[in-house]
Structure 1
């Protein structure tokens, strides 16, 4: 044991060793010691074989029944304990593999007297592959794959049955990274007659990913000549490989000869139908579905296959998916399973088509199926997430018309949506409906209405809600007081609310402390806002570090938002020194208000806090880029960060080309402007990203020439429209005309004016307004000079 702990100490931290040792020991206590006390002749087992003839009296009978029940409870307790400990041990094996590595883990298990089984080895193989996938170092990944090979070799030497769940994860990794030689090395190691069909799947997938058509055709040819008893298994595995690789060319001939009833599992059948949907093979899907029905496959499974098929076709609009789902069920003369109707509703919501999801709800009721309240709760949650609050009335109407009674939680969600769209009258109508159904509004419902009034700055309405709570004998909770504190306008109000909380014994949650900080900061009591933290630490030594960090992050936001940047940065430094990370919203708030000269280094430091959160990181990164543009400095930093944003933006729909528009918009709005920085930024974007700027970005740059008084840049930008493949339109000409007038080049402006159509009333208004603004009226002396020049010119001509 001493040598084992010493080994662990050399490999992991001291605390980890202590916890690891205790957990492993406890697991062995559960897995080994519990079994060691059991024997076939134990009392527990003997009560199970007592004959009826031994029950001579009712007292004896009662006593034996009680003893039987007790023994049954003991058995269940031991079984539950063993199951829990086994799961816990499996987790620990994986943790050991991650901390110590596979070799050391196997050694530890051996020293504890526990032989390493197939399950343990499978966990360690997964650890090796996870580490290989995470690293960018080729040497490290190859080392992990070598360890995986040794584990499989160890399993083979022990005579273990190597199943697909063990080797599959390794072969999948080799296929994904195109490691052909390594794949064959592993295949030779684990090859066995019983594994032939399964290995055939991975081998075919390997050549599909490698796009080696010759190898693929060779395997297909060999399969056509093969006549073994397991030919259907090989066909199925080739079929699954073609489905995974989207190989329509090879898939079609195989589908013509393959008997879908030979598929080994419903999951595999589901994979086939997903591929049929993706490749739009409607006739084949209908044939397979009819085969399933004729062979009495469960209707629920057929509904599943229809759902998988229709939602996998990316070319179908949502309404077409719904139509095909209904049509296929009608063709088979069956009613869709309720479970897959609900999945179809969720599919509609996930594709931002909530109203189509509600049409599916109506369809369910038409065919006599009922929806659970949980699904309606999901719909309400989606409406809130997508900000389609108005749909709450339609959903509620659907529930009412079909006699489905909401519970308190349903009403809370509906009332919250009404409040979100400022429909307080509708919210109170729902409160009245609750009372008619003998449901009592709880504090969460009143809180939702109060929060809505506060968002609208309707203090009177919010206080009315508080009175209604008192009238209904509903006690305020910590959220109620948080709302009240956040909206305090003076220190006296804060003290009153704190006093009420202390009298009502409401728990001071982290949200309450956050509200107090925001309230004090809003009242200008910054020292008292900071005191909340110190008092909190003094009064509660056991406060969770995470909660304390969240509260400190709110303090950073409150100070930054109210102009106390120096104090906010000091608190940020404290958080860093404590080994914690600033909360993302606080980091964004700090970056938003940190706008003075010479703060780029600090901004980059704050940006580092967001590196694990893509959405917030992108937001923060754009803010740093805009800072660089506002200062007309740090061009290299701006371009480097833009490159990172665009790269990360490939994983986010709302990030990409639009970021350039934001950058050039920021440049156009910054005073004073240095057009050289804007032109350098333009060239850097073109060269670095090999992209064409949008019309919007060029419009911003063109407008910036006015305040920069830069006619030369104006003509250069005008040429960029043509280079970007953007034809000049009416708006382009009008904007160029305005810029030229503003810069005093009336001759060039006149040439642009001749190209603008005069049949649009609004365009003419813009032109007249531009002329009135930029063309100066001539003074009397200038008018006389012009008349003299004109007369002189006429005489010369005469």
Structure 2
């Protein structure tokens, strides 16, 4: 990884050394202290952010102790959760009471639910104080605290909450420091972040936390990427002092550093140490593993040829040797080592694994060539492919999205008497799903049945789901029947996949029949089943029926169920009941915002824009954000009703999902085009440029889409399309694509605007795009539309006539515009005769 643009590495190194330089008779860590900006005070903005991030996962009031000194932390972090707020500014208790009086659902929420929640809180308080439901949420909280408070006060917050700061917390904080250092071009900020990381190392030692590779590895990687040699050595000394067992592992990072800065002398000395000195085998292995990751072909071959790799390396390390030989395309050396291993009676399964590791590492080698090389080497060495070798080949094919080749190898593996693991089979299905190649389901199903492969619930669900995706519902039912014959337990997920497919096809009756099939197979419906059923109800009576069945089954309502209720009540025309759903006091706070977002979508789709905006304002006042899909719906509705541009831009800025943001950005740009607001359109185009500046293909496609939508809608948008073209060139410093010019030239042809067409025509030359058949046809059409027959004839001579469709377009243009011209001439002659008769 390269240093960020604009950073002077020598300056950075000098600054680091000046900050970290050792003093006589002073320990390294004693002089490193956090800078003044390392600590910041608590603020209302932090309190607001923490409350929103933490609300719903646990009660912070229960987490904070009552000891003296914790009052400030408690006041800062205790979340005021509003579990049942309505969508209007009225008394919340009255709102809840009125909501409960409306029988929108028959006693759906169990009376003991709140009791259970209190029990859970008590259990949390007794068993653990600061536990997270997921690593993502934990890391987000760590980043928030570290950015706002600084590392030391973040640790203090954890201690006040009753949890001793451990390795996980320190690692997350160090990661934040490294991310900041990588992201900045300011040398002083980078130095400051490294100082913070070092201070965290010191704190870990003081608290008795071990300094393992998961902690120091990311920091050493950063120093290596920056090429900071003395700083690397400084940190390495500290790590060795704190953890002497890490000395051999640090050799791996040291070798990577010399490779990064291309220090040939040090690389040569280390290679000689690997070959000659046999005192520290662990250090020699670490050096060699780092060398395997480099492009130093001569040094690697010299070491490999002069070292007994069997005595020095384990089988896992020898695999890295063969991967390097494959990547460097050293076939003769690989062959020699394999023959040597075979003559020394090395384990045949391992040799097979080495062969495959070598073959799949060769760059740009087609699957069939890999298989040929693998088979040839196995025949040469008289060894058989092992089970792990087959699976490695299968995974390699999946990595190339070659599912067909992977299944060929699966069949070869099964014919050889090996059993395919469920993990590999599940990975094949995952690749099919990611690449939308559901059609492979029939062959996979056939292989499973023929070779009696072991299954699990997720594999079975995928098979059924794939059949549904290709609309083979009979095949899906057949798979369920085969699964049952294999004595695999049927689950609700399998039937849910079929039910969802029927409902997507709007085949409501077939979707409802799935429930009967579930009952016949003695499979109980789950919350997902009921969410599908409720979501597709056509009457309120059906909604109540399924809610009653769900209650009788003892199934607790989930987020999907509440969302389905909102949607189904709105679809039945009862928007009031749809609004009442979000007032259920038993909806967990952490999912309430998503349910309200569904309400916004349904209100907008039913023409209740003002009501939707009220819900949106309520969500904002609660410190939350609307879900991206709901924001997109609001933007689309507001653009159709000529809403205020400032409101549209505000909604767009609240979009957190990139795909939805791009979609919303398109809608607002088109809105600006319709209202001739060039400055805002250019601002949004600049945001698109800044977002995708590192991906020219995506950026070009986005700009093409904008021009296509603007100039294809109405002829009156031609001028703003031209203005945007000049803005792209002058203000954004970008070259317009051929597609942009094609769209504008088409708009000129539709408008019969010859002057602007000639300007666009010159832009092709300026941009370096040669004229092609399509550009000639568009210009020919424009000239005919403008009545310049002479120039049109000149352009016509440049258009090749070897394509029937091109000829058809030429004839259509000639007939259309000749007819229009003749009509125009007759009208003009009529006007002249009228004027003569009057005179």
> Could you state the TM-score of these two structures normalised by the residue count of structure 1?
0.74
| 1:374 CA displacement | 4.5
* Cα distance change, pair 159–368 in 1 and its aligned pair in 2 (3 A): closer
- Distance (whole Å) between structure 1 residues aligned to residue 713 and residue 180 of structure 2: 43
* Cα distance change, pair 20–130 in 1 and its aligned pair in 2 (3 A): farther
Q: Is residue 567 of structure 1 aligned with residue 611 of structure 2?
A: yes
Aligned residues of 1:733 and 1:756 also touching (Cα < 8 A): yes
For residue 705 of structure 1, the aligned residue among 729, 740, 748 is 748
The equivalent residue for 1:661 is 704
The equivalent residue for 2:805 is 762
* Cα distance change, pair 639–146 in 1 and its aligned pair in 2 (3 A): same
Higher RCO (CA 8 Å, separation ≥ 6 residues): 2
- Distance (whole Å) between structure 2 residues aligned to residue 606 and residue 400 of structure 1: 53
Aligned residues of 2:395 and 2:406 also touching (Cα < 8 A): yes
* Cα distance change, pair 765–436 in 1 and its aligned pair in 2 (3 A): same
Aligned residues of 2:258 and 2:266 also touching (Cα < 8 A): no
* Cα distance change, pair 588–774 in 1 and its aligned pair in 2 (3 A): same
Q: Is residue 260 of structure 1 aligned with residue 303 of structure 2?
A: no
- Distance (whole Å) between structure 1 residues aligned to residue 461 and residue 212 of structure 2: 50
Aligned residues of 1:277 and 1:310 also touching (Cα < 8 A): yes
Q: Secondary structure at the match of 2:534?
A: helix
Q: Is residue 420 of structure 1 aligned with residue 494 of structure 2?
A: no
* Cα distance change, pair 365–687 in 1 and its aligned pair in 2 (3 A): farther
Q: Secondary structure at the match of 1:335?
A: coil
| 1:730 CA displacement | 2.4
The equivalent residue for 2:394 is 345
String of CA shifts for 1:645-667, please: whole Å, max 9, x gaps: 313658xxx83432122122112
- Distance (whole Å) between structure 2 residues aligned to residue 206 and residue 439 of structure 1: 53
For residue 216 of structure 1, the aligned residue among 264, 268, 278 is 264
The equivalent residue for 2:97 is none
Q: Is residue 635 of structure 1 aligned with residue 692 of structure 2?
A: no
The aligned runs of 1:410-489 (5 Å cut-off) are: 410-434=459-483, 442-469=491-518, 475-489=524-538
The equivalent residue for 2:448 is 399
Q: Secondary structure at the match of 1:392?
A: helix
Q: Is residue 772 of structure 1 aligned with residue 815 of structure 2?
A: yes
The aligned runs of 1:715-794 (5 Å cut-off) are: 715-776=758-819
| 1:533 CA displacement | 1.1
The aligned runs of 1:36-55 (5 Å cut-off) are: none
| 1:181 CA displacement | 4.3
- Distance (whole Å) between structure 2 residues aligned to residue 340 and residue 530 of structure 1: 58
- Distance (whole Å) between structure 1 residues aligned to residue 314 and residue 131 of structure 2: 30
* Cα distance change, pair 312–421 in 1 and its aligned pair in 2 (3 A): same
For residue 522 of structure 1, the aligned residue among 561, 564, 571 is 571
The equivalent residue for 1:646 is 692
* Cα distance change, pair 642–434 in 1 and its aligned pair in 2 (3 A): closer
The equivalent residue for 1:601 is 646
Q: Is residue 334 of structure 1 aligned with residue 383 of structure 2?
A: yes
The equivalent residue for 2:596 is 552
The equivalent residue for 2:438 is 389
String of CA shifts for 1:43-64, please: whole Å, max 9, x gaps: xxxxxxxxxxxxxxxxxxxxxx
- Distance (whole Å) between structure 2 residues aligned to residue 619 and residue 322 of structure 1: 44
String of CA shifts for 1:583-609, please: whole Å, max 9, x gaps: 333334444444243544334433444
* Cα distance change, pair 228–270 in 1 and its aligned pair in 2 (3 A): closer
- Distance (whole Å) between structure 2 residues aligned to residue 191 and residue 739 of structure 1: 76
* Cα distance change, pair 544–754 in 1 and its aligned pair in 2 (3 A): same
Aligned residues of 1:129 and 1:145 also touching (Cα < 8 A): no
* Cα distance change, pair 18–272 in 1 and its aligned pair in 2 (3 A): farther
Larger deviation, residues 659-668 vs 521-530: 521-530
* Cα distance change, pair 103–258 in 1 and its aligned pair in 2 (3 A): farther
Q: Is residue 205 of structure 1 aligned with residue 249 of structure 2?
A: no
- Distance (whole Å) between structure 2 residues aligned to residue 201 and residue 552 of structure 1: 53
- Distance (whole Å) between structure 1 residues aligned to residue 298 and residue 422 of structure 2: 46
String of CA shifts for 1:438-460, please: whole Å, max 9, x gaps: 66755433333232222222233
The aligned runs of 1:83-232 (5 Å cut-off) are: 124=170, 127-128=173-174, 130-135=176-181, 136=183, 138=186, 139-149=188-198, 167-186=216-235, 201-210=252-261, 213=262, 215-217=263-265, 219-220=267-268, 224=272, 228-230=277-279
| 1:22 CA displacement | 10
String of CA shifts for 1:604-640, please: whole Å, max 9, x gaps: 43344444x5555555545544554555432331222
Q: Secondary structure at the match of 2:438?
A: coil
- Distance (whole Å) between structure 2 residues aligned to residue 174 and residue 409 of structure 1: 43
Aligned length: 702
The equivalent residue for 1:532 is 581
Aligned residues of 2:578 and 2:599 also touching (Cα < 8 A): yes
Aligned residues of 1:667 and 1:673 also touching (Cα < 8 A): no
| 1:461 CA displacement | 2.5
Q: Secondary structure at the match of 1:744?
A: coil
Q: Secondary structure at the match of 2:573?
A: coil
Q: Secondary structure at the match of 2:639?
A: coil
* Cα distance change, pair 154–585 in 1 and its aligned pair in 2 (3 A): closer
Q: Secondary structure at the match of 2:716?
A: coil
Aligned residues of 2:259 and 2:294 also touching (Cα < 8 A): yes
* Cα distance change, pair 259–169 in 1 and its aligned pair in 2 (3 A): farther
Larger deviation, residues 430-439 vs 759-768: 430-439
- Distance (whole Å) between structure 2 residues aligned to residue 110 and residue 559 of structure 1: 46
Aligned residues of 2:738 and 2:769 also touching (Cα < 8 A): yes
> What is the root-mean-square deviation of aligned Cα atoms in Å?
4.8
Structure 1, unaligned stretches of length 5 or more?
A: 1-6, 24-83, 787-798
- Distance (whole Å) between structure 2 residues aligned to residue 438 and residue 239 of structure 1: 50
* Cα distance change, pair 310–702 in 1 and its aligned pair in 2 (3 A): farther
Aligned residues of 1:674 and 1:708 also touching (Cα < 8 A): no
The equivalent residue for 2:620 is 576
| 1:759 CA displacement | 3.2
Aligned residues of 1:665 and 1:697 also touching (Cα < 8 A): yes
| 1:393 CA displacement | 0.9
String of CA shifts for 1:712-745, please: whole Å, max 9, x gaps: 2212222333344433232332232223323333
- Distance (whole Å) between structure 1 residues aligned to residue 803 and residue 745 of structure 2: 23
- Distance (whole Å) between structure 1 residues aligned to residue 327 and residue 368 of structure 2: 17
Aligned residues of 2:787 and 2:821 also touching (Cα < 8 A): no
Aligned residues of 2:704 and 2:740 also touching (Cα < 8 A): yes
Q: Which is greater in Rg?
A: 1
Aligned residues of 1:639 and 1:684 also touching (Cα < 8 A): no
* Cα distance change, pair 574–236 in 1 and its aligned pair in 2 (3 A): same
> Could you state the TM-score of these two structures normalised by the residue count of structure 2?
0.71
String of CA shifts for 1:346-401, please: whole Å, max 9, x gaps: 33334322222212211211222111344434433433332222211111112222
Q: Secondary structure at the match of 1:334?
A: coil
Aligned residues of 1:488 and 1:519 also touching (Cα < 8 A): yes
- Distance (whole Å) between structure 2 residues aligned to residue 106 and residue 471 of structure 1: 57
- Distance (whole Å) between structure 2 residues aligned to residue 724 and residue 421 of structure 1: 45
Aligned residues of 2:177 and 2:194 also touching (Cα < 8 A): no
- Distance (whole Å) between structure 1 residues aligned to residue 485 and residue 271 of structure 2: 71
Aligned residues of 1:198 and 1:237 also touching (Cα < 8 A): yes
| 1:437 CA displacement | 5.2
The equivalent residue for 2:722 is 679
